[in-house]
Structure 1
Amino acid sequence: MPTEFDLLPENAEELGLEPDPLPSVTRIDTVVDGRTVSALRWTTESLRVVFLHGGGQNAHTWDSVLLSLGVPALAIDLPGHGHSQWREDGDYRPHLNAEAVAPVIRELAPDAELVVGMSLGGLTTISAAARYPGLIKRAILVDVSPESPKRVENLSKKDRGTVALVSGPDTFDDLDELIELTAAAAPNRPKSSIRRGVIHNTRQTDDGRWRWRYDRFRKSIEPEPLWKDLSDSDTPFTLIRGGLSQFVADEDIDTLRRYRPGLVVFTVDGAGHSVQSDAPSELARIVGDTLRSAH
């Protein structure tokens, strides 16, 4: 019976890594306030990094990064995504996500030195750092600021990339249709990577059609509470921008630096919003360097 981990050798081959032996990866479900929060645990050792994906994604978006990084890590499916339970109210704002993932981090990765959050996962990281002092010792935001959700509203479909798919149809006739749609939204990404991503991010319904493995957002994300969270937290932050992305503007960085004078900023040339998919090895290098600089 095929498992969700059967595609990892393909990830490794694409990265130029030896496909054998691969790290031990297991899925762990935790019940928080009556809802299941699912996560992928990379190795059985003490976990050093926690990864939180973006909206419309899932924990497998980090597979290539984690293979390149090679450190024990936890990749969490945010509520309403992947294998985590959907909320009845469709409310996936960062402060509610933080309430869901904080107990998971505390239970499974209490000694984590770093949390890496991309897009919605980055905003969730900001909220969690403010609401749970001491939980997040150091954080990396991947291509997001508190202004990003509003900024995206004014971007063209082309500039939104794969994020534009979130507002598209819910169900599809076959998997190939989804793969082609995603490939058109991410033309610089290897087709094999896109295929893996679609497989991990979809499920087949009883009528044989395919649908995304995430819920629709029914609440908008406002920037003001997130800026306040930044002001209330003393967690050191690093920002990684995609060089081709328009989700973070220069003025956003100026504001981030007013709240965090020590903010470190990296730009990954040639990467769009999903830096982990467009440049996984480069992102892994920056994450590794950040871990080493903490010691």
Structure 2
Amino acid sequence: MDDEFGLLGEAADELGLRDPIPAVRRVDTTVDEHNVSALVWGASSPRAVFLHGGGQNAHTWDSVLLTLGIPVIAIDLPGHGHSSWRADGDYTPAPNARAVAPVIAKMAPDAEVIVGMSLGGLTAISLAAAVPDLVPQAVIVDVTPESPHRAAELGQLARGTVALIEGPQEFDSIDEIIGLTAAAAPTRSLSSIRRGVIHNTRRRPDGRWVWRYGRFREAPAAQPIWDSLAVTTAPMTLVRGGRSPFTTDEDAERFRARPGPTDIMTIEDAGHSVQSDAPLQLADVIARVLTHE
């Protein structure tokens, strides 16, 4: 493995995992003259596809995927990670779904589940409505179509990734970014935060550090995504973070009213970034979805 994957051993040790680390490689695909980058875990046909949240990248799933130990792909959404940025700054769910659909069709045609967190979850909903054959079932992590509005309501009270997205975009050092991230996510280990920051930043030629994602021009509007959800029939599991304010009881019940089978569960000790706060518990949920327990 090259340097990009050199931190996986540290993550595995932190999780108490002793199994060999699977082979992981980065694969780039051109879609409409844009690059869509993905991490491919394992050598077999992927059983699952993972879509991260806004301001994150495919490495946000590392701990979950180390725990699961199955072949998967984790995609960098447009404007994030190693995928191309869009000139129009439109990183909303519908164009995201159009960008990832051909990648999934090519690289994970037999995937059994699409897992999406926050923006990735809304992208999965849009994908399920537009190309239902690519979404046999889905795990939607701490998001409903109303969540961007909830985030806007919170304003300065927002914590975690949401607060960081709205904060400074340039920094003198990577340690400055680690400090800000630790303050926004006080329940996460410093080593986990450091790994996340390393994967989610880059150093410019002038020596300044910047995030490895494009800033949103506007949040996704709720109604088009509710409309998409209303035509989805694939089984879906909505996983809520017990400490997260972004998915309310009211929104969860509206989510449940979709025509397809729907389970709703809560991981009590997790905030919005469930994959970072409770990777073992989230991996267990996904494993049970895969085995139809």
TM-score by length of 2: 0.97
Aligned to 2:170: 171
Indicate the residue corresponding to 1:143 in structure 2. 142
Could you tell me how far 1:121 is from its partner in structure 2? 0.1
SS in 2 for 1:47: coil
Residue deviations 1:32-90 (CA, integer Å, cap 9, x gap) = 00000000000110100000000000000000000001111000000000000000010
State the distance in 1 between where 2:189 and 2:113 align.
29
Q: Which amino acid aligns with 2:7?
A: L
Which structure 2 residue ranges, 5 or more long, are not aligned? none
Residue 11 of structure 1 aligns with which residue?
11
Percentage of matched positions with identical amino acids: 60
Contact kept in structure 1, 2:234 and 2:260, CA below 8 Å: no
Task: Return closer, same or farther for 1:51/1:271 CA change in 2, 3 Å cut-off.
Answer: same
- Is 2:235–2:260's contact at 8 Å kept on the other side of the alignment? no
1:94-127: CA deviations, max 9, x gaps?
Answer: 0000000000000000000000000000000000
The residue correspondences of 1:47-86 to structure 2 (distance < 5 A) are: 47-86=46-85
Q: Does 1:39 align with 2:42?
A: no
CA contact (8 A) 1:158 1:185 kept: no
Is the Cα–Cα contact under 8 Å of residues 130 and 232 in structure 1 kept in the other structure? Answer: yes
Match of 2:288 in 1: 289
Amino acid at match of 2:12: A
Deviation at 1:235, TM superposition (A): 1.5
Taking the aligned partners of 2:209 and 2:2, their CA distance within structure 1 comes to: 18
Residues 201-220 of structure 1: pairs in structure 2 closer than 5 A: 201-220=200-219
TM-superposed CA distance for 1:232, in Å, is: 1.8
Matched with 2:221 is 222
Q: Tell me whether 265-274 or 161-170 shows the greater mean CA deviation.
A: 161-170
How does 1:130-279 map onto structure 2 within 5 Å?
130-260=129-259, 262-279=261-278
1:250-288 CA distance string (max 9 Å, x none): 000111111146310111111000000000011000000
Cα drift, residue 93 of structure 1? 0.9
The letter for the 1-side match of 2:64 is V
Distance 1:160 1:147 in 2: 18
Instruction: State the shift of 1:158 in Å.
Output: 4.0
What's the Cα RMSD here?
Answer: 1.3
SS in 2 for 1:110: coil
Q: Distance in 1 between matches of 2:283 and 2:156?
A: 28
Cα deviations by residue, 1:115-163 (Å, 9 ceiling, x for unpaired): 0000000000000000012111000100000000011101143443221
For 1:111 and 1:147, how far apart are their aligned partners in 2? 31
Query: For residues 63 and 101 of structure 2, what CA distance do their matches in structure 1 show?
Result: 24
SS at 2:104 equivalent? helix
